[in-house]
Amino acid sequence: MGCNNADFPKAEAYYAETISLPMFPALTEAKQDIVADYVNHKKQVTKREDELKSFQNIF
C-alpha cells in the first residue's frame, strides 16, 4: 500500500500498548490455559521491569 510505520504514529503508539488474544470456537481449554499463562507471565515480567526502571530513576 506504500505506507510505513511513521505514517500513522498514533495508531502505532496505540498498538504498541495493545495485545490481541486468540478467540475462536475451536480454541480448546488447554490452549486457553496456555494463553492465560503467557499473559500472566508477561504481566509479571513487565511489572518487574517497571519496578527496576523506577528504582534506577532514584539514582
pLDDT in tens, 2-59: 888 789 999 999 988 888 899 999 999 999 999 999 999 998 998 888 888 887 777 6
Rounded distance, CA 59 to CA 55, Å?
Answer: 7
Residue 51 has what pLDDT?
Answer: 86
Cβ neighbours of residue 39 closer than 8 Å, sequence gap 6 or more = 19, 21
Say what the pTM is.
0.61
Q: How many helices (H) and strands (E) does the chain have?
A: 2, 0
Residue 32 has what pLDDT?
Answer: 96
